[in-house]
Every structure is written in C-alpha cells, then in structure tokens.
Amino acid sequence: MRSRLLGLSLTTALAVLLPLLAAEGASAAVTATAGSARISAGALDALCQPDTASARSTPTAWREHPDHPEVSHADQEALDPVASPDQMRRAERALPGRVRIPVHVSIVRGTHRTDRTVPMRASRKYVERLNKSFAGEKSSLGPGTRYRFWLASVRVVKNDTWYHAVGNSKADRTMRRKLHRGGAHSLNLYLTRPGRPGEFSGILGYARFPWQHKYPNRRLDGVTVSVDGLPGGRAKGYATGDTLVHEVGHWMGLFHTFQGGCEGRGDHVADTPAEAEPSFRCQVGRNTCKAPGVDPVRNFMNYSYDACMNHFTQGQVDRMDLAWFRYRDKDR
C-alpha cells in the first residue's frame, strides 16, 4: 500500500522523489536541470531508511520533545465506550456532508530582536494547507474528510511572555483564556515560539483533544504551532506546514500512530498498523511490530518529515467523525 523506494534504480527513485520534494518545497538537496537531475546521498539517506525491523528511529533535534503529555486513561476511554457501529451510524446520519470550521488565528509576537514572526496575510495560506490535507489532495493513500476550514479572524498580539510560553504553563493558559474565540466547533490557532528567548526549544506544537473542551477549561481549547514549523521557519524537514495538520489531527481526536507501541489498542484505529516508535525523517517500508502491515510512516499522525506525511486513513476519518459528533457538533 505504501511505496518502497529501496530496491528501485536511481532513475526510478528520482522519478518518485523529485515530484514529492518539489511539491513540498524541498531545497538544495535536489538539483534539476534540463534533461538531468541529481540528489545528494544525504537526501536519499534522510528520506529512505533501511526496510528492516531493526532500523531504529533517531530523533531529530526538532522531535526530541513530544507535542503533548502522555495520553491519560481518560483520553484512552474518551471515545472507545461509544465507538460502536450504532454510534458510528448515528454520527454519519447526523453530520452534514460538509462541516465548515471557523479558524481564529492569534499571531503572538515577541519583543527580542531575534524573535521570528509571520505576516497576517500568511494565515490564509495556513488554512489552505489544512483544506488540501483534510480533503485528501496530497495523496491517494487515504480518503478525504468532510471537514473544511475558513479563516474567521486574525489578530496580532505583542506579548513576549506568551510568545515564549510552553504548553500548559501558567503563561500558556493565561494566553488562551485571554485570546480564545468561538465555541467547541471553532479552531483557535496560536502562532508562537515556545521556549526561552534565543535558545533552541525543539517544540513544534501542541493541541488539546476535543473531549478536553469542557468546563472550566473551555477557553484552553485550541492548537499552538511554533513559527519554526511554518513555511520559512528554522525546523529543517518540518517547516512546510504539516505540523499544523498534525496538531489539528489531535484537536479532531486522533492519537499518534505509534501510540502504545506494539501492544494494546495502539492509536485506537484499526487500519493504522501497529508501530513500536515514531518515524523520524521518512523511513518508508519500516516494520517495527510483528502485527500485519508496515509502519504508517506517511500518515499525518506520525513524526515524519513534512515531505513524507500525506494522508489520514478511513479509520482515522471515522474517529474524527465520532469525536466531532460527540464533543464539538453540539456547541453551535
């Protein structure tokens, strides 16, 4: 089901890799000229890891820190007790064919000379990225979803403490309570740069699950993405915008594909094969568990490079629908 690049001739591999890299804004690793193309050994190594279960993942500096705390028992149980075929049919009947989600963007700016920010006009591009990904336009490996996003508002706030706030800190909670707009069906997107000023943080983003949208924490709902993980950012391999797609996946009710490793219920989605650990870079064909299927390296809910992640599965789409029906659709 997933393409295997190892074992292909260099010419064939380039034919596969070049469109992928070009589409994702890849840089000098690939040079194309009239009638010729060449790719560095480092780029091939980064994109194609050995197709063996012993190929260990080595985190890049940008993935040393998880994007949310350990999934709790309450998180594990939030949907499973109601994830019956009958409930799925109820959700399918109740939800419209197209769910339009308003996006409220808060661009937070710091006060240090080296603090990066993003222009207000870029917000529309981020929403377009979400729509392309949730419509299934990046790959034929997975289906589209019913969810489409529209830019409802953009504001710029200058607050150095909020700009550098890390997830669930006092400053982060204060920022969200002050800036949050809309109800459970509205996506609040905070663009900051978590971590100490001038120091490397390795934090790309974090999100709240839909079942966490409840009193007294309703105003804490939303998604934070570091400006380092947005187009033009410093997160090499992770700066074309798919951190946003990944975090909104959490906001829609999805766990990581590597949740729980090879044991237990994993990510609670039947059609994402079990995976012992995250994929970093793009280890296509890797198989780290004895259960059927190779690791879902190209799934948006992995830790792969942006150029590698390109789809959700039907099981993940079903889980989004159930989560939306149960926790977000009622607050309109």
Residues designated as active site: 247
Question: How far is 194 from 163, CA to CA, in rounded Å?
Answer: 7
DSSP 126-195: HHHHHHHHHTTTT-SSS---SEEEEEEEEEEEE-HHHHTPPTTSHHHHHHHHHH--S-TTSEEEEEE--S
Q: Could you tell me the strand order of the sheet in which 187-192 lies?
A: 147-158, 99-109, 187-192, 223-226, 205-207
Nearest-10 Cα torsion for 29, 33, 37, 42? -10
Q: Is the Cβ–Cβ distance between 233 and 306 less than 8 Å?
A: no
Question: How far is 205 from 249, CA to CA, in rounded Å?
Answer: 12
